[in-house]
């Protein structure tokens, strides 16, 4: 009797049993019947990546399954409130790092870290200044020029004097090595 382990359901099934069919639209033919070929953890264990094959046309495609996050809202300085957008935060970081030696992948990972920190620290509403401070802290460790660019927009620098003050404060702060863990917070 030939048996194999199905990694998607973690059970033993006999090769004579028909494959388990799932319901996911095929982007090629629109069929609702597919089978999962491969399933594995992705994004540091925060998602499951599944390779699927359409039963009708044999087209293969990938889907991701992630935990649905609670909607966090950002409480703005002017009293408005809006949904937290990781993409909006990331685009600001990308602009600050333009023409700097910081990859988009590093920025995406950093944005995800910030969102995870916010989710663990807040239930529903986050003051916008907390988000800005977290972004500036992360940028400070990634690239000081990007940090000053972001700070100039975030803090509404009005003249060159404010830039100089911020640069001087950077010189007084010790730059922490990525290899050296932070001892005290």
Per-residue DSSP letter, 173: S
Mean pLDDT of the 72-78 span: 90
The pLDDT > 70 percentage for the chain reads 78
Average pLDDT, the chain: 80
pLDDT tens figures, 140-180: 889 988 988 888 887 776 777 777 777 777 777 766 554 44
Q: Which residues are 64's β-sheet partners? A: 49
Residue 160's alpha-carbon distances to 26, 47, 132, 164, 165, in angstroms, are 56, 45, 21, 6, 9
Residue 165's alpha-carbon distances to 154, 171, 178, in angstroms, are 15, 10, 25
The token pair that represents 124 in the structure block:
């529903």
pLDDT greater at residue 24 or residue 75: 75
């Amino acid at each position: 009797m030939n048996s194999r382990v199905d990694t998607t359901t973690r059970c033993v099934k006999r090769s004579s049993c028909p494959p388990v069919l799932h319901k996911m639209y095929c982007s090629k033919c629109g069929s609702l019947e597919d089978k999962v070929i491969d399933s594995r953890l992705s994004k540091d264990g925060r998602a499951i990546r599944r390779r699927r094959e359409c039963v009708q046309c044999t087209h293969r495609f990938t889907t991701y399954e992630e935990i649905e996050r609670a909607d966090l809202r950002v409480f703005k300085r002017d009293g408005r409130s809006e949904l937290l957008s990781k993409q909006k935060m990331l685009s600001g970081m990308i602009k600050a790092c333009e023409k700097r030696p910081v990859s988009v992948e590093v920025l995406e990972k950093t944005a995800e870290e910030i969102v995870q920190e916010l989710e663990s620290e807040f239930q529903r509403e986050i003051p916008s200044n907390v988000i800005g401070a977290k972004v500036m802290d992360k940028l400070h460790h990634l690239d000081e020029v990007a940090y000053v660019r972001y700070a100039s927009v975030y803090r509404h620098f009005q003249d060159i004097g404010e830039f100089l003050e911020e640069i001087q404060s950077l010189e007084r702060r010790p730059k922490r090595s990525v290899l050296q863990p932070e001892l005290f917070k």
